[in-house]
Amino acid sequence: MGDVERKTETVNLRFSPRMKELLRIAAEREHRTLSNMIETLVINYCESRGIPVEPGAKGASRAKKRTTTTTDE
């Protein structure tokens, strides 16, 4: 069974009900899954803080392409 690189990793997170609802709303507005929204938030955070993000990192290119600005008043 040698070294097989996994395409994804599993991470278990705990959120308060309010945080989960906020994540769901944000993901819905961006037309993303919850997991893709979290990836996007992490990538954007790293890029804004000068933390190198591998060019081929999953979601790296989609993070910028799919981000939209919406204002609800």
Closest by CA position to 29, among listed 62, 65, 72? 72
Q: What local confidence, expressed as pLDDT, does residue 54 receive?
A: 81
**Residue 63 confidence (pLDDT) above 80:** no
Residue type, 58: K
Task: Indicate the DSSP class of residue 61.
Answer: H
Residues 14-61 have pLDDT tens digits of: 999 999 999 999 999 999 999 999 999 999 999 999 999 987 665 555
Q: What local confidence, expressed as pLDDT, does residue 39 receive?
A: 95
Q: What local confidence, expressed as pLDDT, does residue 73 receive?
A: 41
Whole-prediction pTM: 0.67
